[in-house]
Structure 1
Amino acid sequence: MRRPSFLSTDPTAARVVPATGFTAALTIVSSAATAFLAVFAIALSLAAGDLATRWETELAGTATVRLPAADEGQDVQVATILEALKQTPGIGTAHRLDDGEQAALLAPWFGTDLPLDSLRLPILIEVTEIGDGPDVEGLNLRLEAEAPGAVYDNHGRWRAPLAEAAGWLRKLGTVSLILIAGVMAVTIALAASAALAANGQVIDVLRLVGARDAWITRAFVQRFTLRAAAGAGAGTLIGMIALLLMPGGAETGILAGLGLSGVEWLWPLVIPPAAALLAYAATRAAAARRLGSAP
């Protein structure tokens, strides 16, 4: 199978493009930086999808009864609520959350060092629904009569906003990838244009002695494509290492889900080839403008 032109080695053509200098450093550094950012944009997009799925799974079929904390009589109210829930059609199970369970719920947001003893947290009763669930309005009326202040919440008002927020996070990650690709392409095109301008006299002499535009273009395309691929490869590797070194667990708060797992680690490996293709297209376009021929 024939290799792409930018992978073919031509030492004579490569001499047209300086191996070092400002344009070489600009191409490699910009490719590495944008690839590093692309790794985190991919992680953000994938984490947002996982987050939306987890939120939907955790909230579906569950509900919570909240009862404001009271100095006395709260145990009687809790018993009354549990009895009312037991008698309500559409309710599967119900149990009161202890301090440890409440701490686990708050850990993703406030960490594990939250002093629960100094806070007057409401009493929470976790409920699982069966079938179509209970009549929420009727159940709230009964709870208000038997245990004033108790509220039955089936999380309906939370599901849509959370799913929408996760969807926007995924879109943000996708838009970030598009912007990163655009910045990389523009930077490489500018670097290629600068190299072409700096070597303008050499290019003119080469054309006078019979060098074809395709030969000159291939020299620049080869150099800048390989530079972009090398820089993107380094940036991708550093980004993946940074993701691996990020702390995980509940103590990291709501950022605990930002990362990659399983086959998701294969996605960043697409970045270096994509950077090479962007550099190939951008350099050919810049060379076409300078040489006055179609890419």
Structure 2
Amino acid sequence: MTKFAPFLVFLLLPFLVISQTELPLYDGPVPNSKDVPNEETSEVRPDGILVISKVSVPTLTVYQAEKPNGKAIIICPGGGYWILAAGHEGHDVAKEFAKRGVTAFVLKYRLPNGATMVDKSIGPLQDAQRAIQMVRENAEKWNVDPNQIGIMGFSAGGHLASTAGTQFHREVIDNPNKTSLRPDFLVLIYPVITFDPVVGHSGSSKNLIGERPSQGMINLYSNDKQVSAETPPSYLVHSKDDPVKIENTFLFVEALKQHGVPYGTTIYASGGHGYGMVNKTSEVRWMDELEKWMGAL
């Protein structure tokens, strides 16, 4: 190694890693928030999973694509509306998208909590809508086509993404520029879709809408019931042995069919839940299948 090599490595380092920037989600005060201390914590668990808890100050981390193809995706990690599995269901996924030409945004959304929010049931949706608004209004800056902005989520993050994708007319943020809050496509990975107690995930439901929600609230947040002809094209991934029942995906797909909305799926025979990008029980990589599907949009 020459005496100049360390200097050259230093110069080249920014080009060897994917550019990323964490930004505050809101320009001013976070809406629907109470004036309480920020008690957010993060840890890497023994299994290597990065977990963020008690999120009350949302952010958006930008992963600029190496060779942008114009598409963008906002990623909502899972965690039952209790924590965020922000590594293997967030930042790791964003890095992979960026390698494939898609500019990715990891949404650190607020976790519903009556101690930090006036109305905890709308807090995560506010953040998802604001993320769509922010990316669309800054599309040129990030080399993004404003008509190619998707949102994806894992598990409860899939519930949030499907809420954003089916309830975009229910604006829960200020939108002075009348920016479209409709995502252009959805990607739902082992998603919670319904809050029907027979099929749904009780933990996600309880954390978002409480222990004894009205039937109206259950219906509102059962997103298979909110699908319309305006719902964006959707891609879903699920395993048949998932404890978050695969009926969640089947209900959503059936609703998409009924309304003539294009969709794609990767259905695994096994794999359980929470595997992120790689289901080790199969040689099929859903990211590869998704990339083909997105290329046809």
Structure with bigger helix share is 1
Provide the TM-score with structure 1 as the length reference. 0.21
Structure with bigger strand share is 2
Q: Which has the higher contact order (CA 8 A, sep 6+)?
A: 1
Provide the TM-score with structure 2 as the length reference. 0.21
